[in-house]
Amino acid sequence: MVEKLRNFLRQESEHQWLSLFVFSLFVLAGAYAISVTSHYSGGAIDESEHSFSGHQVLDVVYTNNGDVVTHTYKEEFGFALMWETSDGESEILLNPNNVGDSTHLSFLKELNDGSVAFSARENTVSFATENAVENLDFSDDTDVDFAIFDLQIESSGHMLMLVYEDGEKTVRGLSDGQTLTNPMVVSSQDDWISIEHLRADIWVLTGMHLASGISNPNSPTTYMSVGFVEWDGSSATPVLFSKQTFDDGQIHSVHVLSNGSIVAAGTSDVLIIEDVNEISTFELSSATSISNGDTVWFFNDIGTYQVALFNDDGLLMRQLSMKLPLQPTVSGFSDEMIYMHGQDQFGEQIVFSFDTSLDGSIQSGRGFLNASFIFVCSITFGVMFWNIALIWKKY
């Protein structure tokens, strides 16, 4: 046996080093190809001319039909609310010369009927379409002036509003489209920023809990917070019946997914709200996030490559093909495209966009390359072991 092994080891092929070199090149090329397909491609700065080009975009809504609604500011132009259609036609909904109309605009939110809700003055909610703005004024229904920071309308038409009055953020409901409820009792330590409808009679508040530090009471630590409100659409006052506080940080955006869950993205963590007190978290810092209803994309600061995705498959990590060229402030989604607005490194207002449908090709490409790599390697090693067996038989 020893002699047989010695003779076998003496056998040398004149092509063995060349074969080993070629196989090594194949391994390196396969590894590089698989690595490349884990990057998003096609991201670019949008050079198209828009009504908001050169303006600072303070808030934006990309509607389901391809229109863009923007709240903007430009020094020589002032504040404005503009509606730009998918074919490039634009309409100024709020006159930039009337500072009171658009300076205090606090939010933009697309509703199920395609209109965009906002509030530009106290006690008033406005609903904008391409050519008109309708106002709902509550001044005759209350003796207290309040600013409206967000709202949500559920399927039966009941509307719950996040308002600021008497120095506190609270909630008021609008029953049957005409009866304004009393404000909900709240804590002065809670700074709510968003309200969403979870299920029948249950609403979700997201925001921050402010806790004064012992060493510096004037600089409170902010903790991400979620509150659950019960309101059945009647004239009864909404009630905050449960609240949870999480790690320090700030929530910057909230998304309702098609499966009914609510995703709250923050500066340090992400909260997944499934039901009352059923909240899961994972550690992920981000500066902005965008959703199409099924997937949420998380982006970080200017100069970063990483983008994270969350959907039914869990959390996935991707790499951009280029550094993020702007510090994102607001963003939107339309027709499989993500649009981010912000400032580049020179302070110029730009828009960065890329096609989310490329993620499907990334997955398919990686799967094909992985399968091809395994297939070729299996054949190569199979032939090698077959040749070894043939040579071994000779001895």
CA dihedral 83, 84, 86, 89 (to 10 degrees): 120
Least confident of 12-21, 27-36, 72-81: 12-21
pLDDT of residue 220: 77
| pLDDT confidence band for 33 (50 / 70 / 90) | low
The reply to whether the predicted model has a pTM over 0.75 is yes
pLDDT of residue 350: 94
Token reading at 72: 């903007």
| pLDDT confidence band for 9 (50 / 70 / 90) | very low
Residue-averaged pLDDT of the chain: 83
Whole-number Å distance between alpha carbons of 158 and 135? 17
pLDDT for residue 363 is more than 50: no
Strands (E), 249-313: 251-256, 262-266, 269-275, 278-283, 288-291, 296-299, 306-311
Least confident of 130-134, 287-291, 356-360: 356-360
Please indicate whether residue 20 or residue 282 has the higher confidence score (pLDDT). 282
How does pLDDT run across 316-343, given as a tens digit for each residue?
A: 888 887 899 999 999 999 888 999 999 9
Which residues lie across from 228 on neighbouring strands? 204, 242
Least confident of 112-126, 219-233, 353-367: 353-367
Please indicate whether residue 191 or residue 363 has the higher confidence score (pLDDT). 191
pLDDT of residue 263: 97
pLDDT of residue 3: 57
Handedness of CA 357, 108, 194, 276 (dihedral sign): negative
DSSP state of 374: H
Neighbours of 7 (CB within 10 A): 12
How does pLDDT run across 287-311, given as a tens digit for each residue?
A: 999 999 999 999 999 999 889 999 9
| pLDDT confidence band for 66 (50 / 70 / 90) | confident
| pLDDT confidence band for 83 (50 / 70 / 90) | very high
pLDDT for residue 240 is more than 90: yes
Token reading at 340: 């981010």
Neighbours of 222 (CB within 10 A): 17
Q: Which of 264, 310, 267 is nearest to 287 (CA)?
A: 267
At position 359, the amino acid (one-letter code) is: D
| pLDDT confidence band for 176 (50 / 70 / 90) | confident
Whole-number Å distance between alpha carbons of 184 and 146? 13
Select, from the ranges 6-20, 164-178, 179-193, 265-279, the one with the highest average predicted confidence (pLDDT).
265-279
Q: In the sheet where 288-291 sits, what is the strand order?
A: 39-40, 314-320, 306-311, 296-299, 288-291
Which residues lie across from 355 on neighbouring strands? 337
pLDDT of residue 372: 64
Rounded to 5 degrees, what are φ and ψ at 347? Answer: 85, 5
| pLDDT confidence band for 368 (50 / 70 / 90) | low
pLDDT of residue 370: 58
Q: Which of 328, 330, 323, 331 is nearest to 343 (CA)?
A: 328
pLDDT of residue 395: 57
How does pLDDT run across 92-111, given as a tens digit for each residue?
A: 888 766 655 656 788 999 99
Neighbours of 196 (CB within 10 A): 18
Mean pLDDT computed over 72-77: 86
Length of the chain: 395
> Collapsing DSSP states into helix, strand and coil, what is residue 380?
helix
Handedness of CA 284, 210, 261, 149 (dihedral sign): negative
Whole-number Å distance between alpha carbons of 209 and 383? 66
